[in-house]
Structure 1
């Protein structure tokens, strides 16, 4: 759900790095428009982080969403695409596998503490070939230690693999406000409602209703971060009232929209 007046999406270029100059490498980027990269992978780990804006990393498993104070950990070799909202300020990190032996497998969203945020900011100002044996190298090691300790947060939408469910996903991704029930979808797709319900649980681990609510709420993060009114975002997500939207948001994220972005 792109913010109002920001429907143009530009293709973002992927840097051509034959290898990392250091085991921990930082990249700074300002993206004034909505941007995306094509499907790609790296031989190293990527931490996609934005001090401003909302990032989405799409893999075959799902959509991983990172508003400010969160970051997406993408394992080496995992095919993915990265989407960013307008006016995103990225501070990406690339990590050689030799310094991430502690990392769990799989793509995930991490919480970025105040300390970790400031370490990433400071690291982004260092020269590319910083002195690994001096103060810069020690800062890099503390940054790695904080990444290893960063807790995982549930900001992921699992994607279905069944082709019939993918039709539902594509439709709701474009029109999250539509109230079509699973029974109505079953009529459109020529399959029983019981079968669709079973497929949703099998492919996503969620009921259709819970999955649709998560899709709507994750899609609400970018326009909220851009400053759109909560009432407008609630209606665009298919909620009849602002209070119902705020209650669902609090249930999903443990905070109201205002508290979430103030944090």
Structure 2
């Protein structure tokens, strides 16, 4: 993967302690392999962003921030039109954030702090108040759980075939016990393996696969009820609750904002 800096990045003064950029991205936007002189936080308003690193693939829905430390090559792909915010972090504040690229879950306070910068279209920090806000933002992010990916992958011989099948058929409602028989294991062994290998339960993993499919279907004319049934939910309310837990807003609200083309900061 080439080690390429963007010329526009190299022309910027160092973050003081943050530098923010705002951009409207079109659907199917791709960025070839590049790296940044500073650590970068990426925030999207809707949809899903894919980041490809040398040994890692980050898939980030809109209620997550992606964090890539300085100097790490990566490429990016945006699946649908959205509002995008890039935040460069000074070397000093970057020490508070993880040493490896990962996803950081947003919180209402983190969203509000970024919202304020966005509404003012602030790039460099203008005064002490802005600097204090920047430091609070990074401090709060440093307290967030760092996830290696939203959609986990595994080469484990028991888990890998299950993940492949679920991604091919998100509506697959087979129980963990049924899968255990399929892969010649036991339900208890599989449950332990999901936690140790992926850091989440079988049910949590399946929900994440389903929500990524739901994000794609919400771009179409399918009703919320139809999407719920297609994903194997017996009631729309169960689907809505799962979606809101993972994405931060209801499917209907997500679709509305997608159609309006607005950020939901």
Q: CA deviation at 1:185?
A: 4.2
Say if 2:203 is the partner of 1:217: no
Say if 2:152 is the partner of 1:162: no
> Who is 2:12 aligned against?
21
Change (3 A) 1:235 1:147: same
SS of the residue 1:91 aligns to: strand
Say if 2:103 is the partner of 1:113: no
> Who is 1:244 aligned against?
238
Q: CA deviation at 1:99?
A: 3.5
The separation in 1 between residues aligned to 2:248 and 2:84, in whole angstroms, is: 26
Q: CA deviation at 1:114?
A: 3.0
Change (3 A) 1:41 1:146: same
Deviations 1:196-220 (A, max 9, x none): 3332121012222232123323553
Say if 2:190 is the partner of 1:196: yes
> Who is 1:145 aligned against?
135
Q: CA deviation at 1:90?
A: 1.3
The separation in 2 between residues aligned to 1:50 and 1:207, in whole angstroms, is: 27
Change (3 A) 1:90 1:167: same
Contiguous gaps of at least 5 residues in structure 1: 1-13
Change (3 A) 1:116 1:233: same
Compute the RMSD of aligned alpha carbons: 4.1
Change (3 A) 1:75 1:173: farther
In the alignment of these two chains, the number of paired residues is 240
Do the aligned residues in 1 keep the contact of 2:113 with 2:137 (CA within 8 Å)? no
Do the aligned residues in 2 keep the contact of 1:26 with 1:93 (CA within 8 Å)? yes
Do the aligned residues in 1 keep the contact of 2:5 with 2:37 (CA within 8 Å)? no
SS of the residue 2:173 aligns to: coil
User: Which aligned pairs between 1:13-162 and structure 2 lie closer than 5 A?
Assistant: 16-17=6-7, 19=10, 21-24=12-15, 25-37=19-31, 42-57=36-51, 63=58, 65-67=60-62, 70-76=64-70, 82-106=76-100, 107=102, 108-111=104-107, 112-123=110-121, 126=123, 136=126, 138=128, 141-150=131-140, 152=144, 157=150, 159-162=152-155
Q: TM-score with structure 1 length normalisation? A: 0.67
Q: CA deviation at 1:109?
A: 2.6
